[in-house]
Chains A and B, each alone.
Chain A
Amino acid sequence: MRSELSRALGCALAVSLVVVAERAEAANGDPCAALTDEDNNVPAIYIENGDTQEPLVKKLGKLLMQSSTKLRIFYRNRPTCNIRSDLFTNAQMITVVDGTTARPVRYIPASPTFDPAAAAPTCTVPDAPPAEPIALGIGATYLSSCAQTPAQPADIGVFDGPIQAYGFITNKNSSQVAITAEEGYLAYGFTEGGGEAAPWVVQNLRFKRGNTASTTLTMSSAIRLLPGQMKAAADSGTSEALITSVVNSPTPEATLGILGTELYDQRRADIKLLAFKTFGQKFAYFPDSTNASFDKQNVRDGHYLPWSPTPYIAKLMPGTQTIADPNARRIYELVMGTRVGDDVNGLLQVVQSGLIPECAMKVTRSGDGADLSLYDEPAPCSCWFEKNVPQGTTSCTACTVGNDAPCNGGKCRLGFCEAK
C-alpha cells in the first residue's frame, strides 16, 4: 500500500517537474531581441494594449505562435490615451513607467503548454531609442474621450474592434446587487460621503483607474462625470491592483470599484459585479442575461450601457485605409473575422476572451456616454456568438451550406441560420 502511494507521489512529482521545466523555458528578464530558449528569428510584432485586452492578446498570441505562419507578440499593458499618444507619434518600444507603475513588456513563448490564463514572461527593451516600433495599438474605449493632443496624423488609422463592456464591482461579501447611475454620480462625485449615496460613502474604499485608462473614461461617462471628477482612493495603476484592493477591503459593504467585464469574467469567484441602471431606465441589468451567464445579452441589445468599441491603431499604407504592417493587419483581420485562409480562428478568441464582435451587436453609439441607436448588422453572427460563449447555447438552426447560402428564410452565417 505504502509503496503504491510512494509510486503515485513520485509520478506526480515527476509530472510537476516536467511542468516546471516547461515553464522555465519562458524565462523572465531576457532582452526581447535575444530570448533564451526561443527562436529569435520568428517574425515579431510589438503591441501596446489596454490591460482589459490582455486576455485576448495572450490567447491570440498563443495560436499565432502555434500557427503554420508563426508570429510572436511582444506586448505591454498601457492606459488607452497613452497608447493613442504613442501610436500618433510613432513611438518605439522603450522602457516606460507611468507615475509609479512600471509597464513591463511581455512576450508569448513558443511552448504549446503556455497557459494564456497565466502571466506571460517579461523581457527587457532599451531605455531610449533606437528600439522596435510599436506597430499596433489596441485601446479599450473611444479615443474621442482622450485629450485630442497630439492630433491624429493622416497616415495613422483608427479602426473599431470588438466591443468591450465595463462595470461597477464590489467585494464578494457585500450585500449590494445593483447600482443606479445617480448613485454612481453621488458616490464618486463628492468627497468622502458628501453625496450621501449609502453605502458607498468612504472615499478610500472607492477605487478607480488612472484618468487616461479606458475603464475610468467609460465608467465616468456612464455616470456623467469626467475622470478627474471621480473622488476615490489613490488611482490603481492596473486593473489587477484594483481587484486586489476590492478583494482585501476591510469593509465590503462600502467598497466600490470599476473593471472591464472580461477581467471580471475571469475573477467571478473573487469579486461581485453590480447590475447597472442608467439614467431613465426602469430596471438595473447585468451585462449578461443573468448574473451567472456569459452571453453579454444586455450589452448587445442595449439594456446595459457601460461599453465601448476597442480601437485598433496602426500606420496606413500611403493614400489608403489599409493597415501597412502585414502582421498588424493580420491581427486586426483575425479579430474582426474577415481574414481568409489563416489557420488561426481570431473571432473565436474574441468571444472566449469576453469581448463581443460587432456582428453580434444590435445597438451602437457615437461615443462614451452617448445615447444608443439600433444597429443593423449586414452579416449578423448572434447565433454563433451565443453558442460559443462559456456555457453557450443557441436555439438557432445549425447549417452546413456555407456562408451567405439561403437558410430558413435567412442566410447561413458561421454555421447557423441567421435572419439575413
Chain B
Amino acid sequence: MRLQSDMKSIIQKRGLFFFLFLSSGILILAFIILPLFNMMVAPSYEMMKETIKDRDVLRSIWLSIYTALSASLIAFIFGTPLAYLLARSNFRGKRLVESIIDLPIVIPHPVVGIAILGVVGKNHWLGQIMNDLGIRLMGNPAGIITVLTFVGLPFYINAVKEGFENIPPRLENVSRSLGASMSGTFFRVTFPLARRSMLTGVLMCTARAISEFGAVVVIAYHPMIAPVLLYERYESYGLKYSQPISVWLVCICLTLFLALRVVTLNRKEEA
C-alpha cells in the first residue's frame, strides 16, 4: 500500500513522460548488455583454454590486431595533415571534401571491397603497375591493411579535425610572433595539444578496422582475420565453436585499448 502511494507521488512529481524516457533508456541498455554478457559467459573454461591453444585462432587474432594497428598508423601519418588543413582553412568546396572523407562510412562494406578490387586488379592500370612492382593485395595482409585504412580513415580524420578546431588559433599566432615558423609552431604547440584527439582518433580507427568483415572478405578470405575465422567456424561447426573465439577477441581488444590509453595518457595535466 505504502509503496504504491510512494510510486504514485513520485510519478506525480516527475511526470509520466520522465518515466517513459527512463524505461526506454533502460531497455536500450539491456539490449546492448544482454547479448554481450550472454556470449561472454557461454563458453566453459576448458573451451576457452582449448581455443587459445589453437594456432589458427591465435594467428587470426594477431593478424586482426596488427593489420588494424597498421591501418591506424597510416591514417595517423597521412590523415593528420589533411585534418589540420580542414580545421584551419576555409575554402570553396570544403564541404565537398568533408563529404568525400565521410564516404567510406556510408558505403556498404562489401562494396568497399569490390571497389578497391577494381583498381588493384590486373585489368586496371594501377593494378598493372603494382603487379609489375611485385605488390600483391589479393589474399595478402597488405590488401587487408588497404581495406581497413579505407574504412577507418574517416573516423581518424574527423576526430583529429575536431581536436585541431578546439585549439585556439591565437596560440599559434603567439608562437609565430615569438619567432617560430609554421612547422615549429605545429610541432611545439599544435601537435602536443592535439595528442588527446589523435589518440581518440587512433582508437576509433583501430576499433573500426578490427571489426571489419565485409570488405576484407572480398579482398582476402585468406589469410584469415579473426572475424572471418569466426564466421567460418560458425558456418562449419556452429555457435558453440565460434563463441570462445569471440570472447578472446573481445578480451584482447579491450586490453589493448586500455593499455593504449594508459600508455599515452600518463601525463597528468592532460587528464
Do A and B belong to a common assembly?
no
Using a CB–CB cutoff of 8 Å, the interface residues on chain A facing chain B are none
Using a CB–CB cutoff of 8 Å, the interface residues on chain B facing chain A are none
